[in-house]
Structure 1
Amino acid sequence: MGKWIAGAGLLYVLYGLFFYWYLFMTGESSVPEALKGTSADPATFMNQRELILSEEYSKIKDFLFFFRIPFEWFLFFILLTAGLSKKMKDWAEQTSRRRFIQIAAYVFCLFLIVALASLPLDWISYQYSLDYGISTQTTASWIKDQVIDFWISFPLTLGAVLVFFWLIKKHEKRWWFYAWCLTVPVTLFLFFLQPVVIDPLYNDFYPLKNKELEHHILKLADQADIPANHVYEVNMSEKTNALNAYVTGIGANKRIVLWDTTLNKLDEPEILFIMAHEMGHYVMKHVYIGLGGYLLLSLAGLFVIDKIYKWIIRRHGRRFNIKSKADLAALPLLLLLIGVVSFASSPFTNAVSRHQEKAADKYAIELTKNKKAAVSTFQELSKAGLSEANPPFLVKIFKYGHPTIMERIQNVEQGSK
């Protein structure tokens, strides 16, 4: 047991050292010679201080991203190997004779351990965003969001865990397929529910105050044949200086949403370009394509997880103090596998997302016919978020669901030739 934990700890440290070396010492993020002095070169739209802060903050943020991802995997591994998961299961089974209560007690305990163990890393990330002027959120507000995250994630995870253990007990060979069948209606329901139930827990949403701007946005939506009656703004300036806008929800709960930071920092042509970009996603049905892709990918993911889960329990179940596939103590193993498979698939999902974002940019330029506004919008997005214009390769493939700022500006410039 000690050797396994020590080995996992050493592997985690080496992983962290690799990404520190890669991001701070060798990761290539300089501007290509051919683009120096062009509108895609950050030196043309950022001052010297912004350039330095952008480089520093991007490296820190990216390192924390990569370091944070396997942290929960390592924690789950320790819980399994040290026998702590079994002890938690034994405690949960003593709380009640009802299986539902036992599972709820175990999941709550596991969630609490993960939340408390992850809190220092989350706090460090929050502090860096404050130090570099990205976040404007008070500590009380940040803590409130952490609590909301916990109480949204806990019941959703509990429901999924209850279904998993019921299915694997009743349908051991095909549990993964039946679980996937259930994810379809649940995912659609959450998409429908999010704009009106979940999002308002974090921020205040209200109809766009600038009615003249709303009129221009709705006129643009009419040109794109998009049924829309209202545009919403959200008070994100209480939490961040970054800029954003999005279309969320499906069916009757579909919403066009603008962050108030976007309204405060961009002029009307730039805002209309962002709105046209979001309309492009709607017109090209990216939400539904993305949803369909997610469901197909989750089907393949559940199949792979099923094979690995059963193999590990068959080969190493005793070492991990797991008696059977339906043993509650095996939950950390399942969550670990879900995390690893999701991370492994992220280069593919990010590549698809970048393709869709590029298509939406092209649509927005065609709709607004304002390439100057497109370029200035991308430049302002980069400045507001202190984003690297040309991030290192591994950062791009594992983290970026959008093309880089440099690529987006290049696409606009090349399209004008």
Structure 2
Amino acid sequence: MLRKWSILAFVAYLILGLVIYYYLFIFADSTVPDIYKGTSADPTTFMNAKELMLSEEYSKIRNLLYFLSTPYEWLIYFFILIFGVSRAFEKWANQTSRFRIIQNAVYLFWLSMLSFALVFPIQYVSYDLSKTYQISTQTFPQWMKDEMIDFWVNYGTMLIIVTVLYAMMRKFPKKWWLAAWGLFVPFTIFMMYIQPIWIDPLYNDFYPLKDKELEAKILHLAEQANIPAEHVYEVNMSEKTNALNAYVTGVGNHSRIVLWDTTLERLSDDEILFVMAHEMGHYVEKHIYFGVAGYLLLSLFGFWLISKWLNRTIEKYGKEFKVTKSSQISSLPLFLLMVSILLFISSPITNGVSRYQETRADDYAMEITRDKEAAIQTFQKLTKAGLSQVNPPFLVKIFRYEHPTMLERLNMVETYPLKKVDPSKKEQPSS
């Protein structure tokens, strides 16, 4: 039975890989429709032949890696279960100590190490790809440093989650999903507070924006958006990437306005103000709160569904998986497998909501800056810096894109009907 299952799973993965390759490299059409030819959304108007070729190559390979890496993760969890690896890790953990927290820590360490080792080849290929196409500027030691930080941050976070989750499973066998979700809510909000202050600085150096004249302009926009920020921060992302980005993170008094130094170097002040107005649009529209609320509601449904799915799967296939009940720590790979599948299945919905919010933020930026030229130049430079496809294939868009495509964003800017406003609202602070 185990041999049959493993062969079927491996063959299914190979077939999926061939289908995805055919779709991305042969079937899918990413050319711009004739109606957009010659407009600002036509990549031939702002990218040369070499850039167009590289963007197509890079995007196709990167998308292929994405669609292969997710089911590869499922394959790893499946094999860890059916070959008894998870059960072996549980036995080692139980022999280490009589304290549950230590048993969980030992089990999770071995599971995390094995998963890291098996996923590492795909992670390295992804890094090497971005390095080859000059998106990444990291040396291998720098990249490995970030991978190690990722490992330990994820390990520490998972240890807390797993310990609480399995404690709830033992204490509330039938309603553990509700109890776990009840604790998941404050934990999520807590992480939102500590992310910009404690976790982000582990990866990069943040420091106040050096250009004080630009900072004054950005803070003027922030004041209009009622964002409680006294400083604008820049971060030294040029050590890692040639891509451009900026964001507003955190909530309440922990809000931070952050600009990548690559953005400061390659965009004009007007273009930077458009980017910042877009990010502030998320704050004004309260997208972070709607996003968290939606995420928590979705997680409630997810916890409930997994509880039913997990119990039925163990009842039917527990012998093959070497798991007798869901409250065993050795059921964790099955739990993670189900979470990953549900996240993948729901991604078209969550990405669709995200694209709507990004469109609203673009609208806000257009209204607050009223600068079509800066908006167009910004989107075109973002496309070139990231070697992005202007018009990605449909499946790539719905499964991968949290933002509208550049075709949609550039077309929106060109056709945006700017309303007349009171001139006093365009007042800028004196430097």
Question: Normalising to structure 2: TM-score of the pair?
Answer: 0.95
Counterparts of 1:59-138 in structure 2 under 5 Å? Answer: 59-138=60-139
1:225 equivalent in structure 2: 226
Cα distance in 2 for partners of 1:325, 1:358 equals: 42
Q: Which runs of 5+ in 1 are unaligned?
A: none
Counterparts of 1:356-371 in structure 2 under 5 Å? Answer: 356-371=357-372
1:395 equivalent in structure 2: 396
Cα distance in 2 for partners of 1:148, 1:224 equals: 34
- Tell me whether 1:268 sits opposite 2:266 in the alignment: no
- Equivalent position SS for 1:69: helix
Q: Deviation at 1:223?
A: 2.7
Q: Deviation at 1:218?
A: 1.0
Cα distance in 1 for partners of 2:376, 2:417 equals: 11
Q: Deviation at 1:222?
A: 2.2
Q: Deviation at 1:157?
A: 0.7
Indicate conservation of the 8 Å contact 2:229/2:253, yes or no: no
Cα distance in 1 for partners of 2:273, 2:329 equals: 52
- Tell me whether 1:256 sits opposite 2:257 in the alignment: yes
Deviation digits for residues 201-234 of structure 1 (CA, Å, limit 9, x no counterpart): 0000000000000011111222333332111000
Deviation digits for residues 99-123 of structure 1 (CA, Å, limit 9, x no counterpart): 2221211110000000011111100
Q: Deviation at 1:17?
A: 1.1
- Equivalent position SS for 2:321: coil
1:13 equivalent in structure 2: 14
1:49 equivalent in structure 2: 50
Deviation digits for residues 49-85 of structure 1 (CA, Å, limit 9, x no counterpart): 1000000000011111111112121011001111121
2:209 equivalent in structure 1: 208
Cα distance in 2 for partners of 1:298, 1:219 equals: 37
Q: Deviation at 1:28?
A: 1.9
Cα distance in 1 for partners of 2:162, 2:130 equals: 34
Deviation digits for residues 5-37 of structure 1 (CA, Å, limit 9, x no counterpart): 111111111111111111111112111010111
Cα distance in 1 for partners of 2:279, 2:86 equals: 45
Cα distance in 2 for partners of 1:272, 1:141 equals: 31
Cα distance in 2 for partners of 1:86, 1:102 equals: 13
Deviation digits for residues 252-289 of structure 1 (CA, Å, limit 9, x no counterpart): 21100000000000001100000100111111101111
2:309 equivalent in structure 1: 308
- Equivalent position SS for 1:317: helix
Indicate conservation of the 8 Å contact 2:311/2:325, yes or no: no
Deviation digits for residues 315-353 of structure 1 (CA, Å, limit 9, x no counterpart): 111111111121222111011001111111111110000
Indicate conservation of the 8 Å contact 2:274/2:369, yes or no: yes
Deviates more, 1:295-304 or 1:82-91: 82-91
Amino acid at match of 1:97: R
Cα distance in 2 for partners of 1:414, 1:74 equals: 46
- Equivalent position SS for 2:248: strand
Q: Which runs of 5+ in 2 are unaligned?
A: 419-431
Counterparts of 1:149-228 in structure 2 under 5 Å? Answer: 149-228=150-229
Cα distance in 1 for partners of 2:226, 2:370 equals: 17
Cα distance in 2 for partners of 1:54, 1:325 equals: 46
Cα distance in 2 for partners of 1:225, 1:120 equals: 45
Deviates more, 1:14-23 or 1:395-404: 14-23
Amino acid at match of 1:6: I
- Equivalent position SS for 1:133: coil
Cα distance in 1 for partners of 2:92, 2:275 equals: 53
- Tell me whether 1:374 sits opposite 2:375 in the alignment: yes
Counterparts of 1:25-36 in structure 2 under 5 Å? Answer: 25-36=26-37
1:236 equivalent in structure 2: 237
- Equivalent position SS for 1:257: strand
Cα distance in 2 for partners of 1:195, 1:331 equals: 29
Cα distance in 1 for partners of 2:396, 2:32 equals: 16
2:145 equivalent in structure 1: 144
1:335 equivalent in structure 2: 336
2:40 equivalent in structure 1: 39
Deviates more, 1:66-75 or 1:269-278: 66-75
- Equivalent position SS for 2:320: coil
Cα distance in 2 for partners of 1:325, 1:227 equals: 45
Question: Normalising to structure 1: TM-score of the pair?
Answer: 0.99
Deviation digits for residues 353-403 of structure 1 (CA, Å, limit 9, x no counterpart): 000000000100000010111111000000000000000011100100000
Cα distance in 2 for partners of 1:257, 1:366 equals: 22
Cα distance in 2 for partners of 1:222, 1:199 equals: 25
Counterparts of 1:267-306 in structure 2 under 5 Å? Answer: 267-306=268-307
1:408 equivalent in structure 2: 409
- Equivalent position SS for 1:70: helix
Q: Deviation at 1:97?
A: 1.9
| 314 and 200 in structure 1: CA distance in 2 versus 1, 3 angstrom threshold | same
Deviation digits for residues 144-191 of structure 1 (CA, Å, limit 9, x no counterpart): 000000100001111111111111111011111111111111111110
Cα distance in 1 for partners of 2:92, 2:216 equals: 60
1:354 equivalent in structure 2: 355
- Equivalent position SS for 2:319: coil
Q: Deviation at 1:412?
A: 1.0
Cα distance in 2 for partners of 1:416, 1:50 equals: 32
Cα distance in 2 for partners of 1:311, 1:375 equals: 53
Cα distance in 2 for partners of 1:168, 1:283 equals: 40
Amino acid at match of 2:100: R
Deviation digits for residues 397-417 of structure 1 (CA, Å, limit 9, x no counterpart): 010000001100111112148
Cα distance in 1 for partners of 2:91, 2:293 equals: 40
